[in-house]
Amino acid sequence: MSILAVSRTLIGLAVIFALAGLTLGLPSTRREAIFLIDASQSVDKTSRQKVERFVDDVTSNDSTINVKKLYFAGRVANEVSELTADDRNATDLEGALLTAFAAADPTCVSRVALFSDGVETVGDVSQIASESVVVSTIPLEASEKPETQVSELILPQRVSEGESFRAQAVVRSSVATAGRISFFKTAV
């Protein structure tokens, strides 16, 4: 086979692959760090401020890393000031990680650093994973402010009209306290 025939065959294959949409991907040397910082009420403000200083120090010392800094509570924002009081009353770890995965640059080697107390009140972080983004978790101190919540309400799946049923409320508190839970009948 002549050199000309081999060349034509290789050019023909290259054209076919190009038309089929195949591309050659080489391993990336570009790096990206996505910092997810928990800004919910349950995280100690001083602890969060230490993280912010740490992230600022890391990002100012290495200009070769593409850096994204996101704050989250009930939703994700670019700045803490964008989160409302209602947002800060929740923690959505699942939503924060899904946002980080979507924001990851596919041309970079991406890593997510998740700074949180790990107390998830919205979503289910155990249901997600990413094969292309490495996630490192760094625990933050929980707020020392007293906090009480109804963490679960257990009711039967079905109740017939007029039938008695048992309702159970699971209440958690960071301090010993007394309280009252009231159930009200509402019209449907």
Cα–Cα distance, 41 to 67 (Å, whole number): 25
Ranges of each domain in the chain: 31-139
CATH superfamily of 31-139: von Willebrand factor, type A domain (3.40.50.410)
Task: Pick the closest to residue 44 from 118, 142, 127 (CA basis).
Answer: 142
User: 9 with 2: CB under 8 angstroms?
Assistant: no
Nearest by Cα to 36 from 50, 51, 49, 58: 51
**Which amino acid, 121?**
T
User: Of the ranges 95-104, 106-115, 176-185, which one carries the lowest mean pLDDT score?
Assistant: 176-185
Place of tokens 């790990």: 118
pLDDT in tens, 36-51: 999 998 888 888 888 8
pTM (predicted TM-score) = 0.62
Q: What is the mean pLDDT of residues 95-112?
A: 89
Read off φ and ψ for residue 11, nearest 5 degrees.
-65, -40
pLDDT digit string (tens) for 116-169? 988 888 888 877 776 667 787 878 777 667 777 777 788 888 888 888 888 888
